[in-house]
Amino acid sequence: MSTERDSETTFDEDSQPNDEVVPYSDDETEDELDDQGSTVEPEQNRINREAEENREPFRKECTWQVKANDRKYHEQPHFMNTKFFCIKESKYANNAIKTYKYNAFTFIPMNLFEQFKRAANLYFLILLILQAIPQISTLAWYTTLVPLLLVLGVTAIKDLVDDVARHKMDKEINNRTCEVIKDGRFKVAKWKDIQVGDVIRLKKNDFVPADILLLSSSEPNSLCYVETAELDGETNLKFKMSLEITDQYLQREDTLATFDGFIECEEPNNRLDKFTGTLFWRNTSFPLDADKILLRGCVIRNTDFCHGLVIFAGADTKIMKNSGKTRFKRTKIDYLMNYMVYTIFVVLTLLSAGLAIGHAYWEAQVGNYSWYLYDGEDDTPSYRGFLNFWGYIIVLNTMVPISLYVSVEVIRLGQSHFINWDLQMYYAEKDTPAKARTTTLNEQLGQIHYIFSDKTGTLTQNIMTFKKCCINGQIYGDHRDASQHNHNKIEQVDFSWNTYADGKLAFYDHYLIEQIQSGKEPEVRQFFFLLAVCHTVMVDRTDGQLNYQAASPDEGALVNAARNFGFAFLARTQNTITISELGTERTYNVLAILDFNSDRKRMSIIVRTPEGNIKLYCKGADTVIYERLHRMNPTKQETQDALDIFANETLRTLCLCYKEIEEKQFAEWNKKFMAASVASTNRDEALDKVYEEIEKDLILLGATAIEDKLQDGVPETISKLAKADIKIWVLTGDKKETAENIGFACELLTEDTTICYGEDINSLLHARMENQRNRGGVYAKFAPPVQEPFFPPGGNRALIITGSWLNEILLEKKTKRSKILKLKFPRTEEERRMRTQSKRRLEAKKEQRQKNFVDLACECSAVICCRVTPKQKAMVVDLVKRYKKAITLAIGDGANDVNMIKTAHIGVGISGQEGMQAVMSSDYSFAQFRYLQRLLLVHGRWSYIRMCKFLRYFFYKNFAFTLVHFWYSFFNGYSAQTAYEDWFITLYNVLYSSLPVLLMGLLDQDVSDKLSLRFPGLYIVGQRDLLFNYKRFFVSLLHGVLTSMILFFIPLGAYLQTIGLDTSYWTFVNAFSIFGSIALYFGIMFDIHSAGIHVLFPSTFQFTGTASNALRQPYIWLTIILTVAVCLLPVVAIRFLSMTIWPSESDKIQKHRKRLKAEEQWQRRQQVFRRGVSSRRSAYAFSHQRGYADLISSGRSIRKKRSPLDAIVADGTAEYRRTGDS
């Protein structure tokens, strides 16, 4: 057993997943994974490998070639790919984006082809052809042609309107402009005309039109600041830096025009964080990485201009490669409706066959012996029966509802406009309304089981706010005056005394200002001085105002807080930093910056004061700071209590500390630091070891508490959606601590929640797999599967899992391919069979493991997946779709969410931010997460109920109308004669019966929008498919059969009135539709039986005066009343009994709607704080990436006069540099 198991497992199971890192990129090759280890190989294989390497002198992964300023180079024959037969196109995509489906020439043929792919439309086309055969048809051809043309026309117009909108959107993007070098000069060109190899110029606040190599910029050393909100939803700036040689020589227009560099790089892929390539120029090669690439969708910030070389364009750009495959989405009701139409086809065929057999029998027994029935044709009874089969297919064709699809589209279009017009989903602050970007999925909004949400920019605003702090054991940040008296209502602190205050900080503790200004406690001033000096923020001045650029919003919030409290960071050079301390400017020498990384979870700075003292200032996560504190720290416990309080308030915390360093101690340490900085191997590990020596015996100053600001109404929305039995999963690239913290903030997690992490899940799944393996024996396939829960009943559980653990658990880890060159030799059939079986067992194991994971996760009340890639987000959504058969919704705001949005049944984009890539790929968009509750609980629920009622009545009315011909057949020798006149059949679905059901499908509502939000439990009917299913369909069928009997045996149609019994929301429009349809029927009937129309069309309208003569007869009116009564009374009785004895939740709320009109106010769940007991740790407020320390210490970020290239000292290998002796 163990041998077999080992042979199946080819995954790398040796390494423990790392919670801090995002797993490998989506397209990472197995060869890249091999770099981490080496394998001893046999001598013969080594010889073979070397021979192959000698035959391939070029790098396999760098096959994309770009020549600057040379478009003809990319048009060479060997760069052309065959597209269709002999038609060839370049492998280099142009920069035009195309999302539309049709053009002026293809619209009619392609649209008709798509429409006739629908079974109903194709059926009616065949029916129209059959009706042109006189021997078969007893109906005029126009009875089918008119409805068919109407259906095709309305659908075509709707598709045309949608595609025109796509054309406009594409045109808007493709016609954006930038400057491109043409004929030796920069000329304005449209985005769509940009090609690979072009050199372009971008200005401040411009969008990047393609993936480009940064050549130079207006900033020193060609730095370029970009905002990546379009890609990842984050608004903090990131910096890119060009090669030093391009920075030096490619600043002027003439040098850029003559630039002839050649680039070899990787093929287009979806890895946002990685790029590998080489620039060949001036007989030298220069390595390229992701830090030198500007991706399409980024925005140039704080950089006057920059120049770049286009590497990837259009569909080859990383943002487009990351968007995933566009899927054609259809609703659950759509699939069900199609199956029901197929069922009707079968019923129609069986009825027609039965009646045809009846006609053949009748002809044999009666027709052949009745001389007065002779029609001049000597056909056999069986042949006549065959013709009558097709005749009944035509007569009973209205059982298959030709106008069903177009009616559904009209209703969906109206419901989409209701979403667009909803003022309660309009975000006035950014002038952003809700937008239904599709018209085909509305009722599916009422059936959602799982919501998959991004965090940054979706649940949160990505805005960090300084809320509280603890200094010397004293907590500041509550509402209190300068005398330490607490007040519920108090004005916020006035910072007008501080000339550097930005006026954006809302703070209410006046006592802290009193402490700073009085200077009674020196620790308070030192606390804010530390915030002003210990960071890697960069600063510039615009119109006299300070502008900070931070590597993370957390760090920016802390420096801004220090600025408002009187300690403003003003400037920095390579070896100094200038601070304004309560109006007094002081400059400090920076001796070393010990930067942050995810392992250290802290950063430090060593400075020399103007007085000559050396001090170390440090900030970091409490878990690492407390380990490095001096034993004699009197406020250690008070600060710990404060941290527990901040954690319970879901604030992000940092501990602040310092120490004084002797000159001799620093000199000794600095030697080790400089040696580690230039180490050629294991440099990072050497630096970390040196840092550890100096970062000890620290004096604790206090702690900061920052709020990662949630969007308005997020906890309330999540609470209401949970009551509607909708489960919410958070999928984010953020780190585990931050994601967990946000889970508590938005109340997905509570103090009572038992949290399971990756290692817990792995052990549970391993035990389950072992049990399933042991249970699986010879008779396993005959035993029913046992569905055992993973957790005991009761209790509130949540799952928090990182991307690395997700790959480990789902067996998605990539295999390390051996570097041994395998010799090709023929294998036996037995070996091939064993290999195939092993592969199948491996796939079966993987599938079972994934199914078990989904079952386990679905037992939890909340799931948070952190440090996941865009591909993993889509994978998680797909797993739930595949194994739970549940309706899913994904919501996000960045390009990293696009794959997830496209994979889910319904995708929602958060608009109103800078990033619009998610919105472009979504089905619905709005500006705030809180609008999701209204979209689902109001619009989704109403759309589902309306669509279900519409479909039930549509099928019912068609059965009731059509089956009258069936009963009539028993009295006309099964001869396929119609019970109605031709025009009545033609106009029945188009005019007489369409309006009432359409308006009910558009306007009906059982309870108001406020009550729908107040009682989320009403939503469950859609999740359980209670209002439209096969049972409901057959009830409608039976109801239609009974009504058709009444209509035939008590002749005259009265079904129109029955729709009034199920209309919950009566308006003038509903009443007009029902009674207006009746009036329309009588009006048209009088017209087609009038003398005037007989004069115009004597052959078509022959029964002049029939209507008026018939309606003068009293028994006609008596028959109408009797038929209506017989149709309605049973329905009324059943409806009354069901509402009285078995009322639904909706019926109960309707009954007490007046009493329930008062709105229920949502209240945040109360937190229970227990001193000294913290069940969780607040997230440390740092970014995931390393800060700007390299940039600062190397001096490349400082604005200065440009120097010749040979005078620039390249210090790319040194992480830190000593800035000089004081």
Cβ contact 517:691 at 8 Å: no
CB burial of 1082-1107 (b: ≥16 within 10 Å; e: otherwise) equals eebbeebbeeeebeeeeeebeebeeb
**Integer Cα distance of 506 and 494 in angstroms:** 9
Interatomic CA distance for residues 61 and 277, integer angstroms: 9
Residue 1221: other Cβ atoms inside 10 A = 10
* Enzyme catalytic residues: 454
As a whole number of angstroms, the distance between CA 721 and CA 811 comes to 32
- Placement of tokens 């020549």 in the chain: 67
Helix (H, G, I), strand (E, B) or coil at 105: coil
1039-1048 burial, b for 16+ CB within 10 Å, e for fewer? bbebbbbbbb
> 476 CB contacts (<8 Å, ≥6 apart)?
468, 469, 470, 509, 511, 512, 515
How far the first Cα of the chain sits from its last, in Å, is 70
| Nearby residues of 954 by Cβ (< 8 Å), 6 or more positions away | 401, 404, 407, 997
Contact 1106, 1091 (CB under 8 A): no
Cβ neighbours, 10 Å, residue 18: 15
**SS3 readout for 628-693:** HECCCCCCHHHHHHHHHHHHHCCCEEEEEEEEEECHHHHHHHHHHHHHHHCCCCCHHHHHHHHHHH
CA distances to 214, 219, 239, 712, 1198 from 222, rounded to whole Å, are 8, 5, 10, 40, 11
And the tokens for 228?
């990546």
Query: Which of 385, 390, 383 is CA-nearest to residue 361?
Result: 385
CB 251 within 8 A of CB 200: no
The span from the CA of 1135 to the CA of 393, in Å, is: 35
Look up residue 420 and give its two tokens. Answer: 């667009």
CA–CA gap between residue 517 and residue 519 (Å, rounded): 6
Of the CA atoms within 13 Å of residue 1197, those in its CB half-sphere come to 25
Nearest Cα to 468, choosing from 522, 497, 505, 521? Answer: 505
- Name the residue among 4, 10, 8 with its Cα closest to residue 842: 8
Q: Are 479 and 486 in contact (CB under 8 A)?
A: yes
Are 425 and 924 a contacting pair, CB within 8 Å? no
**Is 439 within 8 Å of 154 (Cβ atoms)?**
no
Tallying the residues shown for the chain, one arrives at 1222
Tokens of 162: 């949608």
Sheet with 262-265: list strands edge to edge. 64-67, 262-265, 277-281, 284-288
List the one residue out of 784, 917, 894 whose CA is nearest residue 97: 917
CA distance 588 to 606: 10
Name the 3-class secondary structure at 133. Answer: coil
Q: How many CB atoms lie within 10 A of CB 643?
A: 23
